[in-house]
Structure 1
């Protein structure tokens, strides 16, 4: 993962770096116990559900992420990235909500 000059919140950077490295455990550790991933409108709540989703569609598909931009607005951080791997390939936006030291929501859109 290439890190842009704009600072990301630590849990966001940790989640993206872990995903890009293929490290499921560190990826999950970045999320709160009751966090959710919203993948184009499909919601996966809790670390077990996030793990199952990631195994099938994200880290399990050898995702790679090349960050192309970062912006913050209100309580969210949106990371634009070029996604590669054996699943979806193309540009995506990952919008994160963070509480304390953990991601509470990661929403994936185009």
Structure 2
């Protein structure tokens, strides 16, 4: 996998988290974005900021991209990430849907 195969919105999600850059992380989402973390759904900038504080940068999360696969939707990819930090630690799939270079939907749960 090369960097040019990774959508810009996904790369920004990973890079901003790894730098601990909350402003850049939040700027990577559309205003109407949703983030679904195993059924806990966070809406819009305030919801995603809350998740970021309790489950992501607030827990010093660090992502390593293991693999990426395309879907039938050209705006959606499934990325396998290894997560380490002060919260969840493990490897699993996350579905990312983007609009341009920003994320519109993130789903953290096993794929069907």
> Shared topology, TM-score over 0.5?
yes
Corresponding residue of 2:95: 95
Q: Give the number of equivalent residue pairs.
A: 107
Residue matched to 1:19: 17
Give unmatched runs, 5+ long, in structure 2. Answer: none
**Following the alignment from structure 1 to structure 2, what is the Cα–Cα distance between the partners of residues 64 and 48?**
22
Kindly indicate whether residue 80 of structure 2 is the aligned counterpart of residue 80 of structure 1.
yes
Kindly report structure 1 stretches of 4+ aligned residues shifted beyond 6 Å.
Answer: none
Q: TM-score, normalised by structure 2?
A: 0.89
Match of 2:64 in 1: 66
Over the aligned positions, Cα root-mean-square deviation in angstroms equals 1.3
- Tell me by how many angstroms 1:5 deviates: 2.2
Output one character per residue of 1:60-89: Cα deviation in whole Å (capped at 9) or x when no partner.
000011111011112211110111000000
TM (normalized to structure 1)?
0.90
Q: Could you list the runs of 5+ residues in structure 1 that have no partner in the other structure?
A: none
SS at match of 2:36: strand
